[in-house]
Chain A
Amino acid sequence: MQNFTRRQFLSLVGAAGGTSALLKTSLALGLMADVNYAGPVSINAPTSNKKPTALILGAGIAGLATALELERAGFECIIIEASFRPGGRNLTVRHGDKIDEMGNPQICQFDQQENLYFNCGPARIPGHHRRLLHYCRTLNVPLQIKANSCKLAYFQDDKTFGGKPIRQIEYHADVRGLLSELVWKSANAKHYDALLSEEDVAKLVKFAQLHGDLSESGQYLGTERAGATNDRMLQFPTSHQPIELQAMLNSSFWHGGLLGAELYDWCEPLMEPIGGMDAVVKAFLRNLKKAPLLNAQVKKIYNVDGGVEVTFEQGGRYHTVKADYCFNNIPAYFMAGIDNNFTQQYQAGLNSIKRGHLFKIAYQMKERFWEKEGIYGGISYSADPITQIWYPSHDIHTAKGIVLGAYTWEPQISAKFEAMSQTERLQAGAASGNKIHPGFSQFIENGITIPWARINHQMGCGMRMDEEDFLAYFELLQQPEGRHLMIGDQISHHSGWQEGALASSEQALQQLNKLLVMHSQQAGGGRYVS
């Protein structure tokens, strides 16, 4: 057993016991735990006659979920939110909505129509994000499939294939063909004889042939699997001229877009709430007893005797409130600007969380021209700074549509867009769009840009810690600091996903359960200290 990798072990189990054995063993091995989610933490509500209280700082997904669970357990909660709107990074904009970019506030000019909206932050949910899906199911957030990849969409790079956009299905088929050809050749050159029996080598040759659609002599000559260059209904299909191996290696698609649908969080099919991701926020708000205080910016957080005292400013006035516990959803890099009495070590941990730079552009298109090219959702990949173009898979064949014209997470690239004026950003996006869809810019009616590193009260997404800091501080930040607990995707291994935010909330509520036991014992023993 010792020398087996986990994967080798699993394939053995799979072969012997079928898939259910595989599933059980997977769980035993700690894999696929996300499928085994049991629901939110049940909070051990305190039994004293005074209602327990909690302050939730920030109405992001983590804050909202924490408040909901606490209210359900009998806590009285106040959510204190700095922005004019709840939801944090979960932001969907429609006609007339404000995009609160500091120094460049924008008002969304989309037509006033239900299907014309844009998810500025989160846009997709994979099937294994059990916590988020739990809330979608139990709070009645209807979902639909969101096509996250489209084989008919393009890949374009000025430096390869003469800058011509290539259909992804052609590239995929060619990559498979070319790699299979290599496998076929080396199998026939007896490269695997030490590893495999003669019979297995024969199987491998067959596999390569089928996988790559190779000729009898093991050559990849193109494939009908990628369609045809003529009318394949009425004419004998002619497949496209395959990419040369050298050109494929020189292209940039394989180190980015090619894996777009291969990663666990992007594995098909993905989902989205009907009508916009903020349906999740609205669902929490519908189910909360008390609406968040808005335009209320937290300025001070102090652990005091038996509770936490928080000061916020609203309408030019400072107010101080106190509660038994405090759950802090504020992006950690703001905490150095907020007065507090945390230990140096804890504050150092908060300071070690660095900002990420995500940037999106969206255009309202007067026609859904991409549908005429056979594209009904998914993503085209560009080697330009825009990186990607997303097509809506909802409201197919309606008159207009909102297209994502850029989405970047490379800090340097995002920083370039951040430094541009609004017009420059929109023009740069349009110019790159034109390379994939000639005439792209002529369909644009208006557009918005969302540099998350410049958005008020957020200033980033995809927080990260250096490895050293991570080892030094992550666990510390998961622990309570007095009666104060940090939450948010920043306190998870999965920053940049709502599931990470919800996982952090779950973890914090488990910590709360420990505090509740501790504090009730202290109260009972007459030694009430915090």
Chain B
Amino acid sequence: MSVKALLCAVLFSLCGTFVQAEPAPTPEGLEFCTVCHGNQLKGNSNIAAPRLSGLDADYLARQLKAFRQGMRGAHPDDENGSLMRPMSSLLSEADIAQVVKWITATESPVPAPSITGDSEHGRQLFQSCAACHGANAMGNVQLGAPSLVALNDWYVVNQLQHFRDGLRGEQASDTYGQMMVAASKVLSSNQDINDVVAYINTLK
């Protein structure tokens, strides 16, 4: 009996309306990623787990390794990072390749804005970001700078604060993170952060 026939046997009269969509299937053993990151990894603000679809493969692999090695998410004050860190601990190198392939195959809507700020001021601030993340904030794979338009705005705010406050990118061996630590210095207040994020929202 095929899986579908078997399910029909189980699923009574609803077989008639039984349809199959074509979203990226979740690989076996990775279902739990979607418990936090949501359907098609669209993100869930209640868990502080960001959208992952739309990020590039190199960046994703680097983050998963950073979590696994304790380069990210190990700071005692990094509540969200330390929620994620153990989730990477069981992934082998080969698994990570597999995981990244799946993440980049997912499709989910670009997150709706939730942060308000002065986007005009943000535009000025963003000029320093554009060098690496691109004028449209779509990221630059060569430089290792991820897309910012792919992300939930609350998560971007959070990460900028973490770079600034020494919760992310602090370790000397974290060369990519260190770039961002330096770059985050341009933002001198939480208001600056909100403003730049408000501007990024206009690019979505």
Contacts and interface: CB of A to CB of B under 8 A. Distances in A.
Contacts of B7: 319
Interface string B46-61: 1101000000000000
Interface stretch (B81-89, B126-134, B139-147, B156-164): B81-89
Contacts of B43: 337
B47 A459 contact: yes
Contacts of A53: 12-14
A102 B14 contact: no
Interface in B75-129: 76, 79, 82, 86-90
A323 interface: yes
B202 interface: no
B173 interface: no
Interface in A454-482: 454, 456-457, 459
Interface string B34-47: 11111110111111
Nearest to B33: A102
Interface stretch (B16-24, B175-183, B184-192, B193-201): B16-24
A351 to B, nearest CB: 6
A337 B39 contact: yes
A76 interface: yes
Contact of B35 (A102, A309, A317, A321): A102
Given A318-B21, A333-B46, A338 B38 contact: yes
A454 B32 CA distance: 11
Interface in A59-90: 76, 78, 82
B3 A51 contact: no
A313 interface: yes
B63 interface: no
Interface stretch (A190-198, A270-278, A292-300, A494-502): A292-300
A155 B81 CA distance: 36
Interface string A415-439: 1000100000000000000000000
A311 B22 CA distance: 12
A337 B86 contact: no
B15 to A, nearest CB: 9
A288 B81 CA distance: 42
B39 A300 contact: yes
Given A103-B86, A334-B44, A338-B38, A76 B32 contact: no
Contact of B23 (A102, A318, A333, A334): A318
A317 B90 contact: no
A419 B85 CA distance: 10
Contact of B20 (A299, A300, A320, A333): A320
Given A102-B87, A313-B25, A316-B27, A299 B14 contact: no
Contacts of B82: 419
A337 B44 contact: yes
A336 B43 CA distance: 8
A322 B17 contact: yes
A75 to B, nearest CB: 11
Nearest to A332: B46
A63 to B, nearest CB: 17
A102 B38 CA distance: 15
Interface residues of B, number: 42
A333 B45 CA distance: 9
A225 B193 CA distance: 65
A104 interface: yes
B47 A337 contact: yes
B31 A323 contact: no
B39 A338 contact: yes
Which applies to chain A's interface (DSSP): helix, strand, loop or mixed? mixed
A345 B178 CA distance: 41
A51 B39 CA distance: 31
A318 B20 contact: yes
Contacts of B22: 318
Contact of A78 (B11, B25, B36): B11
B172 interface: no
Contacts of B35: 82, 102, 297, 334, 337, 456-457, 459
Contacts of B44: 333-334, 336-337
Contacts of A319: 7, 18, 20
B5 interface: no
A87 to B, nearest CB: 17
B14 A297 contact: no
Contacts of A76: 12-13
A313 to B, nearest CB: 6
A153 B177 CA distance: 52
A315 B87 CA distance: 21
Contacts of B37: 337
Contacts of A445: none
A339 interface: yes
B29 to A, nearest CB: 10
A275 to B, nearest CB: 30
Contacts of A104: 86, 89
A53 B12 CA distance: 10
Nearest to A50: B13
A193 to B, nearest CB: 57
B38 A321 contact: no
A318 B39 CA distance: 11
Nearest to B17: A322
B25 A320 contact: no
B100 to A, nearest CB: 17
Contacts of B12: 53, 76, 78
Contacts of B13: 51, 53, 76
Given A293-B10, A320-B20, A337 B31 contact: no
4 cross-chain pairs, A with B, having the tightest CB-CB distances, nearest first: A337-B38, A103-B86, A337-B44, A316-B25
29 contacts: A53-B13, A78-B12, A82-B31, A102-B32, A103-B88, A297-B35, A300-B39, A313-B25, A313-B31, A316-B26, A317-B25, A318-B21, A318-B22, A318-B23, A319-B20, A320-B20, A321-B17, A322-B14, A322-B17, A333-B44, A333-B46, A333-B47, A334-B35, A336-B44, A336-B45, A337-B39, A355-B46, A415-B79, A459-B47
Given A313-B26, A459-B36, 5 more contacts: A82-B35, A102-B87, A317-B25, A333-B44, A419-B82
